[in-house]
Amino acid sequence: MLERIERLWTGGAWLEGPTWVPSLGALLFSDIPNNRVMAYDPASGAVAVHRSDAEFANGRTLDREGRVVQASHGRRAIEREDGGVLETLVGSWSGGRFNSPNDVVVASNGDVYFTDPPYGLHESGREGHPGMQDYDGCFVFRWDGDAATPVITDMVHPNGLAFSPDESLLYVADTGFFWVPDGPRHIRAYDTATWAGREFVQPSGIADGFRVDAAGLVWTSSSEAVQVFSPAGDALAAFPFPERVSNLCFGGPDGRDLYVTASTSLYRARLTPAG
Contact 72, 78 (CB under 8 A): yes
Q: How far apart are CA 119 and CA 130, in angstroms?
A: 9
Coarse DSSP helix, strand, coil percentages of the chain, rounded to the nearest 5 percent: 0, 50, 50
Contact 259, 267 (CB under 8 A): yes
Tell the smallest beta-carbon distance from residue 226 to Mg ion (Å): 15
Positions touching Mg ion (CB under 5 A) are 102-103, 159, 208-209
Which of 61, 102 has the CB closer to Mg ion?
Answer: 102
Which of 26, 245 has the CB closer to Mg ion?
Answer: 245
Which of 70, 102 has the CB closer to Mg ion?
Answer: 102
Which ranges constitute the DSSP H helices of the chain?
none
Tell the smallest beta-carbon distance from residue 187 to Mg ion (Å): 12
H-run or E-run covering 114: strand 112-115
Which of 176, 209 has the CB closer to Mg ion?
Answer: 209
Q: How far apart are CA 45 and CA 173, in angstroms?
A: 32
| Angle value at C-alpha 40, between 207 and 173, nearest 5 degrees | 15
Tell the smallest beta-carbon distance from residue 45 to Mg ion (Å): 26
How far from 189 is each of 118, 194, 198, CA to CA, in Å? 21, 12, 5
Which of 19, 255 has the CB closer to Mg ion?
Answer: 19
Tell the smallest beta-carbon distance from residue 70 to Mg ion (Å): 12
Tell the smallest beta-carbon distance from residue 115 to Mg ion (Å): 8
| Angle value at C-alpha 87, between 82 and 91, nearest 5 degrees | 145
Tell the smallest beta-carbon distance from residue 3 to Mg ion (Å): 26
Which of 57, 269 has the CB closer to Mg ion?
Answer: 57
